[in-house]
Structure formats: C-alpha cells, structure tokens
Amino acid sequence: MISAVAASEGLIVFYMTDGTYIVTDTVQILSVAKAVGECCSQILASGDKFKDMKNSHVVVRVDSDGGETGTVEIQDLLFTVRGATAGAVLVEWNMHSSSPGAAAMWDIHFRVGGAVGSELQKGDCPTAS
C-alpha cells in the first residue's frame, strides 16, 4: 500500500545510495514502484543460483507473472555479475505500461565481466590448448 501511494504522488520507493549491492537471489519489483540509484549504483549478482547456464535464474524481475499493468520507473543503475554466472538473466521485464512511458528504464547499464573485482577479467579465463 505504501508503494501505491508513493508512486501515485511521484515519490521514490527504492533509493540506492552510491555503492554495490550484492544479491544472491531474485530481486522482485512490483507495479507502482520507482527505483533510483545514486551515481549508477550497482546491483551485482553473485552465488550458486546464477551459475548454471542450463538452469538460468533472474537477477531483477519487474512484475511476477507478466499480467500486471502499472507504473514502474527504474533509473541510474548498473546491473552486473561477479564470478561464474553463466545462468544469470540480468533483468526480466514482464510489465505492461499503464500509459506511454509509465513503465520504463532510464540511464541503465549492463556489464558482464571486465571490471576489477568481477572475477571475469582476462587473467581469470582459462586458456585454450
């Protein structure tokens, strides 16, 4: 109920201060939410649930079943991974917009590997024989 009131008045429901937020399971964002990062805050997937490419696992899911129509705004965030995460689906978007532009993402970035601390730099990769 707090989310619905906040979103209807244009208030931010989730505010992530500058930093890296390590998640080991799916983060669910339901309708009528406004999520904002500060200075491109990171949502970083790590752990066993994201390892298996044949059994993929969602990091951030917007809506649960794809049947909702609503208002979701997500902005200024970086979705990334650490370590063996071949099964990570960074974002799954299942929401229909209640009006043009009411369910959208702005200034969102996706990065898989290459960053310091990601355990996915060139030196971490196996060499071919």
**pLDDT tens digits for 63-106?**
867 778 888 888 899 999 988 898 999 999 988 888 898 888 99
Question: Does residue 50 or residue 127 have the better pLDDT?
Answer: 50
List phi, psi (to 5°) of 49.
-65, -20
**pLDDT tens digits for 14-36?**
778 888 899 999 988 877 777 88
Name the percent of the chain lying above pLDDT 90. 29
Q: pTM, whole model, 2 decimals?
A: 0.80
Instruction: Report the sign of the C-alpha dihedral through residues 45, 47, 52, 58, in that order.
Output: negative
